[in-house]
């Protein structure tokens, strides 16, 4: 059984064929184009071979699984786009399933990432902040398909305006551009180059006080959102992906410290925080798992790789 997996992010569009054992058969990736339909046609045509049994789509959100549309906050030209029907025209005769990109990241990590456990919170920390949930071995997408969207949990009632229309969302503190804006407002300057998240991370690694403070501030906000989520849902495993999370201990070390400080209830004290093991392909594997799940194919998680030393209290 082979499925087609699509992953639409803020800057790239990836497509792959993956079989029921989790083997990635082939893959391609291109920048997200100006025209959604042209972008889809250009990539999907080469992969829509006979024998596909289903299609799974991971898309930046919010999404509407009932209407089959996507309205990515950070990709204006894709807002309101009827993605499911567009894919159905390109790959006729097979079921097409849609979920958020961070939801698929969580599902992919649970299925093939080897983190263990029946429940998992996946968080993508990049340009924006997204999230997805696996509860009791099943993707939990909610009424509209947007469950787990942790980036728009409000942490500061008087905080910065968010692109979603609210104020003080997690994304306004922990998203890469938000971290850079905060650092610049505190007086951070660059001798040369563009002040972006990569430059901020490089400066933090060199010990610059303001960039380090930006990472600690983001970690504090993430820790609050994670502990709040774990308090409600009793999860144990948290997996971080995305460009900001890829900075490693710049974010993970203060994050684990902050989680330990906030985890008051006994059942919160064994939260495990791990970086993604599937990296950029987590969303593709999650989209494939979504397609397999929709067709009734049982999903067997990969063996626990025992990411030792990842507990928040270590």
Which CATH number does the domain 115-275 belong to among 3.40.50.150, 3.30.1490.20, 3.30.1130.10, 3.30.420.40? 3.30.420.40
pLDDT tens string, the chain, 314 residues long: the values are 899 999 987 778 899 999 999 999 999 998 876 678 888 888 888 888 888 999 999 998 789 999 999 988 777 888 899 999 999 999 999 999 999 989 999 999 999 998 878 899 999 998 889 999 999 888 898 888 889 999 999 999 999 999 899 999 999 999 999 999 999 999 999 988 999 999 999 999 999 999 999 999 999 999 999 999 999 999 999 999 988 989 999 999 999 999 999 999 999 999 999 999 998 899 999 999 999 998 988 888 887 765 543 455 44
Q: Do domains 2-101+283-295 and 115-275 have the same CATH topology?
A: yes
Residue by residue, DSSP assigns 270-304 as T-EEEE-SSGGGHHHHHHHHHHHHHTT----PPPP
How do the domains of the chain map onto residue ranges?
A: 2-101+283-295, 115-275
- Architecture, CATH, for domain 2-101+283-295: 2-Layer Sandwich (3.30)
Angle subtended by helix axes 176-185 and 197-205, to nearest 10 = 60
pLDDT of residue 144: 83
CA neighbor of 132 nearest in space, from 116, 151, 114: 151
CA neighbor of 301 nearest in space, from 123, 103, 120: 120
- Asked whether the beta carbons of 103 and 141 are under 8 A apart, the reply is yes
pLDDT of residue 224: 98
């Amino acid at each position: 059984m082979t499925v087609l997996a699509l992953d639409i992010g803020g800057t790239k569009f990836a497509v792959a064929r993956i079989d029921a054992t989790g083997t990635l058969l082939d893959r391609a990736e291109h920048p997200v184009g100006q025209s959604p339909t042209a972008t889809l046609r250009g990539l999907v045509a080469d992969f829509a071979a006979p024998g596909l049994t289903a299609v799974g789509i991971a898309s930046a959100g919010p999404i509407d699984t009932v209407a089959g549309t996507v309205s990515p906050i950070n990709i204006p030209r894709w807002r309101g786009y009827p993605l499911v029907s567009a894919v159905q025209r390109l790959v006729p005769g097979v079921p097409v399933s849609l979920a958020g990109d961070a939801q698929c990241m969580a599902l992919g990590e649970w299925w093939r990432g080897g983190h263990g456990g029946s429940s998992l919170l996946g968080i993508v920390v990049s340009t924006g902040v997204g999230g997805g949930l696996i509860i009791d071995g099943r993707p939990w997408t909610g009424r509209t398909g947007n469950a787990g969207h942790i980036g728009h949990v409000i942490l500061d009632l008087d905080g910065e305006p968010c692109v979603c229309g609210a104020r003080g969302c997690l994304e306004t503190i922990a998203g890469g551009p938000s971290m850079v804006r905060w650092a610049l407002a505190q007086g951070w300057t660059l001798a040369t180059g563009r002040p972006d998240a990569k430059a901020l991370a490089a400066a933090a690694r060199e010990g610059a006080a303001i960039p380090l403070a930006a990472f600690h501030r983001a970690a504090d906000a993430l820790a609050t959102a994670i502990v709040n989520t774990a308090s409600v849902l009793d999860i144990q495993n948290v997996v971080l992906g995305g460009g900001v999370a890829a900075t490693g201990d710049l974010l993970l070390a203060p994050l684990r410290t902050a989680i330990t400080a906030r985890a008051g209830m006994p059942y919160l004290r064994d939260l495990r925080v791990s970086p993604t093991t599937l990296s950029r392909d987590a969303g593709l594997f999650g989209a494939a798992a979504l397609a397999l799940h929709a067709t009734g194919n049982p999903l067997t998680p990969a063996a626990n790789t025992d990411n030792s030393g990842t507990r928040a209290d270590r």
